[in-house]
Structure 1
């Protein structure tokens, strides 16, 4: 396999349906996305830790539903009547826990989207009841949504995620890199994302390919193994 030298290439995240690796930890979430448009009440809350695939599944659904994707942080400046005319995904809702105007906007948008018989996808970390929202009517409506969680990854999914993250950054290391990384990082999406970012940065800075030796150096695991 060709080794990718340290070049500052753009990261191109693959967000299509075919690029989503289905494993036991995310199969239920994928099944719920595939079940659209038959969502109870026309809405779904998609939850999970950072980097777990919420944005990926949001894009998969949005392409199929011809939906608009909006960050919750941008709600205060939205044209609610226009957005309410189609299916809508609102990402990272816990980010507006201290933003009353954004919560009011989401409340009105929620009601309009459903009144127009469209569908609504809502995302955030942790259970809906822990999103920290303070507007009672909004809290009541969001808690009424069917919720599905992306669970922490097993080894199979974590391996697939590492491969995908490398591919997104146009990195093509030898096959021994991912097995080397797997037992040496925390069992989380965030850890996988962080280690690939660190490897990419080190590769660029040192003008070296991404290898086991570079990984050993980045992870501070002692002497780097021979290539």
Structure 2
């Protein structure tokens, strides 16, 4: 119910005005034990043991955000796999002396582009960040040369969220749907949600559906409905997930 007008259903007060989102920066990212080591490495490319490094992380952990933040920090160029596969040799050579991020690098269809980038960056003193949900040893390629390069890549990882990260990601995920989670809702959720980025996103998506259907603001009772439907109602179950 809308407290200002009982005859109108509740609607979130925030409206999307279509303003362009600000580019993320490394300094603006929340640092917890889940990402502290990886962020330290990303912030000091001059200390990398090799010009190319692979950033791994579980589903929906924000690898793309991290890659864009890294490019923003070092004035690098950000590429998704499909677009990177279309680059010609001349374009690759121009990129390789600077800072380059290739997101979902395991999905690059043109293996020779990855091989060229790795080799040229090594020769020209560039820095390359490759992101993936899978270890480079698992990437599919017919190129023996690329396979050997991938097997030798240094790897850094984003861990599953700790409770501090869980709280922050719940709030940021809710904001994307223009929802506000009050402190008592967060307090209820923390011991019940699985410590995974995917669980956070699944919960918020379903909570948004509930808010829309019920015409009510997010609350502990509404959150409890979603948690129970997902089978996460017992706090003791989290250790078994």
Q: Normalization by structure 1: what TM-score?
A: 0.81
- Once the two structures are superposed, residues 31-60 of structure 1 have per-residue CA deviations (whole angstroms, 9 ceiling, x without a partner) of 101112332221211111112232222122
- Partners of 2:202 and 2:22 lie apart in 1 by 15
Please identify the structure whose Cα radius of gyration is greater: 2
Once the two structures are TM-superposed, the CA of residue 13 in structure 1 deviates from its matched residue by: 8.4
Instruction: Answer 1 or 2: higher relative contact order, Cα 8 Å, separation at least 6.
Output: 1
Once the two structures are TM-superposed, the CA of residue 150 in structure 1 deviates from its matched residue by: 1.0
Greater mean alpha carbon deviation, residues 63-72 or residues 163-172: 163-172
- Partners of 2:28 and 2:224 lie apart in 1 by 28
Q: Which residue of 2 aligns with 1:5?
A: 11
Once the two structures are TM-superposed, the CA of residue 195 in structure 1 deviates from its matched residue by: 1.1
In the alignment, structure 1 segments of 5+ residues that lack a partner are: 223-227
Given the alignment, which residue of 34, 40, 47 partners 2:56?
A: 47
Q: Which residue of 2 aligns with 1:65?
A: 74
Over 3 Å counting, the alpha-carbon distance change for 1:213 and 1:173 in structure 2 is: same
Runs of 4+ more than 6 Å apart: none
Q: Which residue of 2 aligns with 1:125?
A: 133
Q: Which residue of 2 aligns with 1:177?
A: 185
Tell me, yes or no, if structure 1 residue 35 matches structure 2 residue 47.
no
Once the two structures are TM-superposed, the CA of residue 158 in structure 1 deviates from its matched residue by: 1.5
- Partners of 1:24 and 1:105 lie apart in 2 by 34
Tell me, yes or no, if structure 1 residue 202 matches structure 2 residue 207.
no
Check the 8 A contact 2:51/2:126 in 1, yes or no.
Answer: yes
Computed over aligned residues only, the root mean square deviation of the Cα atoms, in angstroms, reads 2.8
Check the 8 A contact 1:114/1:120 in 2, yes or no.
Answer: no
In the alignment, structure 2 segments of 5+ residues that lack a partner are: 4-9, 231-241
Secondary structure at 2:209's aligned position in 1?
A: helix
